Structure 1
């Protein structure tokens, strides 16, 4: 499909950089490609990019909370997920900045959210951007966004069942080992930190209440 060239006996381009490439499993059974653009240190692709000129902010759970807080109880929500977003726009790779997870919402009792969703779907159809139809949710007062179940009728948020089960399984798996790799430990730390951050939002009196979703029967013992 024209996405690969080489191998080359000599660097094919001026200022050529070679970065690490890896794969991590996705929750749907697929694989996510990881491009390590921060290596080699001192001469990587990221070292040559000025963060002030090319800053990029992804939509976060905090952004969704802020929107729901502003619109109030009963907010209607929707989300869209694009497939292989970085392969869709024919521009220089260093200029790629198309995001692939989108959240929208509208005032309770209105068609605002539905109109927003249809406008986005129409736009993606016009630019031939493939949408993961299985990942479209809404318009609804309850949906899962970035692993968090947001319920605007009860104004609560909770870790999704999938994330909860994955976290418990990861802890149980690691507790059976006498030792682990750095990658395994960091992976677990990341998952626990995510759950803890959500708990801190609730303790800090965040924009909406938060139900972590764990009960006494979820305790992990060795």
Structure 2
């Protein structure tokens, strides 16, 4: 997968994209990353990317001209990118959307800053994404979250190919509790079933823990989750306790 970002602060990506799984993804050839500076497509000596909003108001608005010029240049170099904007008015980001994006050959994130982006630039968007009901200083931060969630789903990125399957939200549920050595610590014991060696019992315990945890902490997820009849019977038993 090719991932391009277009922003006024491309240096913000250096640490995140050069560390941990993002670095490994690039070393393995699963991910090719390019951070583009929007100022490279400006034509004044101040390299201006923003201006005062029409109609007055607070703050500055990102100009559409450099965004369109940059898009034309970036999109012409390689396969047509699937273009994303990060905005509070976008589609809520979740694991399902991360999976969809991981199947695209090329992504281009156009990142806003300041008070917002000239509305005409959104005509370039294939998808607008929101991380939640809050406001960030810049789209760079939000794009890093999306890139991380997507890149770890690419084949070969995770060392254990089953890791992504076991994680929270893969099947609509929160992940089950995890433990490692020692088995006893400050009076807290690891659940005996995990030490039993009975893999069928362990699998069922983990499934039930996921259901119980989701029902308790994120009941809104339960209705959309993938539950078998056995799962639903267990969920019903929780309500009778």
TM-score by length of 2: 0.22
Q: Which one has more relative contact order, counting CA pairs under 8 Å at least 6 apart?
A: 2
Larger Rg: 2
